[in-house]
Chains A and B, each alone.
Chain A
């Protein structure tokens, strides 16, 4: 019976996230960018284009699935799976409120960080499998980028962990009942949000798929449903990092007037819209500048923040 409940819970969460937190993020992105750029965004498919994500998915599914002649076929087919699987597995550990979650892991944060770094295997194999130079360069960029930004991100999330004295995401939120950690960890939050943008390949760090440099980057050879898988993985990762930002720094589901899950989703969507806003505003970094920012600025800053947090905890308990 508990197994059945677990399966049903997982299915509900998976469907909910897939539909409302991934498919409709894409719709929100197109709408918000449309307003920022003085154009309409989707309008014709349903009311204000609400059926657009469904139309997009249908279109991609019925597209011809091309595998280049020179591709390493097994690697080529496995790459989208390797990319999307860790992204989906992340959903298991995300608590939407004190009681709504698939699994309450006592190492929830560690689990999410570990799975987050697994996604890079999908991108690396994708660039290799397609046997395209653009794809190869994109996947190399992505690998270096993910490894570089994983380090300061790991250090940035340690602040809330040290303050809550737990890796359990529910415990971390519960510890913020009286005051959100953003008040004590603004630097940590800044580092986290920058690294999160880099980890999810969002502007200004969208180098692996910089369309004006590498045509489409790592997924240049992919079409149809395989391409959708990469797309899905990217947006799921965006969702996961936004939930992490809400959980670690903004008190998760705590807030006045509304119920827990509503507050949680408001916060998550606020971060997602922040990503979209940044996409509409900033140009893209160059590869070496991105590395420089990661290793020479964010890493020392994260270490300093960690040191100060430790001192603060020792002094103020």
Chain B
């Protein structure tokens, strides 16, 4: 078969690039995500020019084909080599800010309408999931405004972990609903999300953490989960490569799993659009107009839209967006770094997470190890630069856990932001204005919460059932001091 292969690492052909363009993925970042080009071991070195050339021929502008952010390391590098750097000698730094804004890609999706009943700020999984769920319930005059491409925010940068192992009944309930929606997402939405229930394995290195896992497991069982606390021998039957000297016990739920995040956004976006929602990418919200206790219009860099309801679903930027309306949120956006390795044949079933040091990793559908690790010293700030410190911290922690990974090579690192709140629970409901609804503060687990939370929010917004979360997780709880901390956070 004489194919024209533009990306030899990932086997992406000219025909596939053209199809992606025809389906509306018109800038290089979007085409990269949709086709997978440039994400293989060569890092886009040999295919970038070929794909950019084709997009130019198809009508893209130079701003739309600007190279994607360079993702170190430049060559596949064994974890064992990265582990030789001492993280203590690598002080934390925000990394390199993105280059000063050059020409921006054109707004996509059509001209900005003059009015829309519901304007959703942010086209991440929250914003798009909500748009779809509103449309399904008959509220179709919905406009989603996204500053970048779809998947530009945390929704396009996360680990894809979906679990029901939480420490409060509310979170367990929401997560179970999300897991059910993940299982049928491909069938319901017509796009593969590669949901793979390989389980979640939490490793507890100390007796205190074992006790915590046991408390949680009891709660889980009371809520119908299959969670069990198992000994290192049994954990090693699930992942034989684990170094069992490193933990005392593990908590295991075989029904948790991992997904491939990006297609969720494409699925929600295309189904919402088919039902009438309008989605405008490369359109940034720059301010609001108000009258008394209501927001009356949304200003953007592409024009102004009058509206009846505004939803702030801007993820880690929610605080910034709320500030545009003069509403202070207590959210603290915090960088979280992550990496992937070369693709390997299947060897790892579950997502493994180590309590205490924030390490987690799983194997993606494509075979890569996807892993991250929080840094306790990370300051607040919306930054997405990468650090060498993270590479060495991750490598050291991962090799302690699975020594067999020593020769596995890292091919790409990047960062996104957690949207952290004082009690690790979200901020929902109206804030500051009667028609300014919040949908933020999902820390490091918003992806798995989104299917369930957006469904509940659409029901609540369209006069259906009011889930307790819209009473409990209001902004006002922080003033009233009615907070209950969720502590089962990874990273």
The answer to whether A binds B is no
Interface residues of A (CB under 8 A from B): none
